[in-house]
Amino acid sequence: MLTGLSLGLAMLVGLSILTQLWGTSRFLRAIASYRAPVIEDRRLPQAAIVLSVRGCDTELRECLTRLAQQNYPRYSLHIIVDHPSDPARAAVQAWRDENALDNVHVEFLESPSPHAYLKTSAIRQCVAKLNSEIEIACLVDADTMVHANWLRDLAAPLAEGDAGIVTGNRWYAPLQSTWGGILRCQYNAYCVIPMYFLKIVWGGSLAMHRAVFDTPFFDQRMRDTCTEESAIRESATTQGLEIQCNPDVFLLNSTECSVAGCFQFVRRQLIWTRLYYPNWPHITLGVLGSYALLVATFWVMVCAAYHGNTPIALLDGAALLAQIGFAQGILELLHRRLSARVVERGGESFPPIGWRQRTTSLLMWPIFLTFLLLAVLSASCARRVRWRGISYQILPPSRIRMVNYQPWAEVSNQQSPPS
Cα 276 to Cα 237: distance, rounded to the nearest angstrom:
14
Question: For the CA atoms of 262, 266, 167, 350, what is the dihedral angle to 10 degrees?
Answer: 30
Strands (E) located in 350-404: 384-387, 390-395, 399-402
pLDDT digit of tens for each residue in the chain (419 aa)? 778 899 999 999 999 999 999 999 999 999 999 988 889 999 999 999 999 999 998 899 999 999 999 999 999 999 999 999 999 999 999 999 999 899 999 999 999 999 999 999 999 999 999 999 999 999 999 988 999 999 999 999 999 878 999 999 999 988 777 899 999 999 999 999 999 999 999 999 999 999 999 999 999 999 999 999 999 999 999 999 999 999 999 999 988 899 999 999 999 999 999 998 888 999 999 999 999 999 999 999 999 999 899 999 999 999 999 999 999 999 999 999 999 998 988 888 898 998 988 999 999 999 999 999 999 999 999 999 999 999 999 998 899 999 989 999 888 776 444 44
Cα Rg of the chain (Å, integer)? 23
Cα 37 to Cα 161: distance, rounded to the nearest angstrom:
10
Indicate yes or no: pTM above 0.85: yes
> Is residue 194 within 8 Å of 271, Cβ to Cβ?
no
Partners of 52 in beta bridges: 80
Q: What is residue 346's predicted lDDT score, i.e. its pLDDT? A: 85
| Domains, in order of start, for the chain | 37-262 (3.90.550.10)
How is 168-199 classified by DSSP, letter by letter? --EEE-S--SSHHHHHHHHHHHHHHHHHHHTT
Question: For the CA atoms of 130, 133, 134, 136, what is the dihedral angle to 10 degrees?
Answer: 130
Helix, strand, coil tally for the chain in percent (to 5): 55, 15, 30
Strand order from edge to edge, sheet including 75-81: 104-108, 75-81, 47-53, 136-140, 205-209, 163-167, 242-245
> Is residue 323 within 8 Å of 17, Cβ to Cβ?
yes
Partners of 247 in beta bridges: none
Q: CA-based angle 51:54:56, to the nearest 5?
A: 95
Amino acid at 406: Q
Span 360-393, pLDDT tens digits: 999 999 999 999 999 999 999 999 999 999 999 9
Element (H, E) at 336: helix 310-344
Distances (CA, A) of 335 to 12, 186, 314, 316, 350: 27, 11, 31, 29, 7
